Amino acid sequence: MNSTRRLDHMRVMVTGGAGYIGAHTSRLLADRGDYVLVVDDLVTGSADRIPGIPVVSFNLANGSSARLESLMREHRIDAVIHFAAQKQVGESVEKPAWYYEQNVGSVAQLLMAMQQAEVHKLVFSSSAAVYGEASGTITEDAVARPINPYGATKLAAEQLISASALSWPLRAASLRYFNVGGAGRPELGDTQTLNLIPICFEQIAAHKSPLIFGNDYDTVDGTCVRDYVHVSDVADAHLAVLDALPDEPGNEVLNIGTGVGTSVREMVDAILAVSGSDLIAEVRERRRGDPAAVVGAVDRMKELTGWSATMSVADIVESAWESRQYFAALAQRS
């Protein structure tokens, strides 16, 4: 990875820093000598992931900006990395107003606190979901047209950050992740079954065939192609961006991916192989709205920071499997 870059040590507030990507990032920051304060409601996150790092239990959307401002002043915070958000697409369709309250409201509270506390550096966890049904190799200049409330809240939060940077000297970046997977350490793995890899592992554990939706796309093997990026690379990207925020106020939008596509068939085959399963993937009808191929153009990120992903699909799948085995053994002991 590229986390040997160094500027002066910083004092960083990481919201949602006990979650999946947040914990990886918090530990990288601490490992390189930065002071880290995690603010997390601990609903899906766990303080056990970040031993030795101070954690304040707090829901940003339901709390007050005054409390956040107080924490920033008390801990002399220099910068914020904002992960805290709800992220289930299906749930966002069922509860859109709540998603706006949580995902946009939390950013509003955070920005008010940062302005009052005179904290001018922000790295925001966004999503490639803002691109909606865009396909092919997607640049940051592609039209953002989300197709679900989750993606819409991420775009609204980006717009709020951009508007804030016009009214006070906020130096920000919004990172649009593609398909994040894997684990930097077994205990840091994704414990939610929301994405392809954990969903396939759940199917295999239940002795059911992993599902592939559609095999008649115009791709190398007929299945959808996506950009899969290791969570450790994603965490490292946040440090790279934090170190390279432009001097001028603004909100730099950056794709975080590998720039390389992997088909769903290739990914499922790798998952079956690492698990030692003799199951065969079951192909079903296409899902409505699934583009044939979605790959992130990552040139802008490399130009700004020098960062690029270094880990492979094999690294993603193998580390995710090790993490699953770790949590399974933990459950058996408890």
Q: What percent of the chain has pLDDT over 90?
A: 91
Which residues span the domain enclosing 166?
11-178+230-257
Task: Decide which of 10 and 7 is more confident.
Answer: 10
Question: Which residue(s) pair with 294 in the sheet?
Answer: 136, 226
Domain contains 133: yes
Residue 142 backbone dihedrals phi, psi, to 5 degrees:
-60, 150
Chain CA centroid to CA 54, Å:
21
Domain contains 150: yes
Cα separation, 214 vs 216, whole angstroms:
6
What is the pLDDT, as a whole number, of residue 1? 40
Domain contains 334: no
Q: Binning pLDDT at 50, 70 and 90, where does residue 117 land?
A: very high
Burial class (CB in 10 A: 0-12, 13-18, 19+), 211: middle
Task: Tell me the pLDDT of the chain averaged across its residues.
Answer: 95
Residues 244, 246, 252, 257: what is their CA dihedral angle, to the nearest 10 degrees?
-20
Residue 90 backbone dihedrals phi, psi, to 5 degrees:
-60, -40
By DSSP bridging, strand 179-181 and strand 35-40 are: unpaired
The DSSP line for 277-314 is ----PEEEPPPTT--SEEEE--HHHHHHH-------HH
Tell me the per-residue pLDDT of 176-210, one tens digit each, with 9 for 90 and over: 999 999 999 999 999 888 899 999 999 999 999 99
> Hunting for tokens 């894997």 — which residue is that?
182
Domain contains 292: no
Residues 295, 193, 331, 21: what is their CA dihedral angle, to the nearest 10 degrees?
50
Cα separation, 253 vs 157, whole angstroms:
12
Cα separation, 37 vs 325, whole angstroms:
30
Say if residue 2's pLDDT is above 80.
no
Q: How many domains does the chain have?
A: 1
Global model pTM greater than 0.85 = yes
Cα separation, 300 vs 309, whole angstroms:
13
Tell me the per-residue pLDDT of 31-88, one tens digit each, with 9 for 90 and over: 999 999 999 999 999 999 999 999 999 999 988 899 999 999 999 999 999 999 999 9
What is the pLDDT, as a whole number, of residue 193? 81
E-strand ranges in the chain read 11-15, 35-40, 55-57, 79-82, 121-127, 136-138, 171-177, 179-181, 211-213, 225-226, 228-230, 250-256, 262-263, 282-284, 293-296
Domain contains 61: yes
> CATH number for the domain including 151?
3.40.50.720
Domain contains 4: no
> Hunting for tokens 């197709």 — which residue is that?
147
What is the pLDDT, as a whole number, of residue 194? 85
Tell me the per-residue pLDDT of 265-288, one tens digit each, with 9 for 90 and over: 999 999 999 999 999 999 999 988
Domain contains 82: yes
Give catalytic residue positions.
150
Burial class (CB in 10 A: 0-12, 13-18, 19+), 304: middle
What is the pLDDT, as a whole number, of residue 7? 52
What is the pLDDT, as a whole number, of residue 8? 75
Chain CA centroid to CA 129, Å:
11
Domain contains 236: yes
By DSSP bridging, strand 262-263 and strand 225-226 are: antiparallel
* Helix ranges (DSSP H) in 190-286: 196-205, 231-244, 264-275
Tell me the per-residue pLDDT of 152-164, one tens digit each, with 9 for 90 and over: 999 999 999 999 9
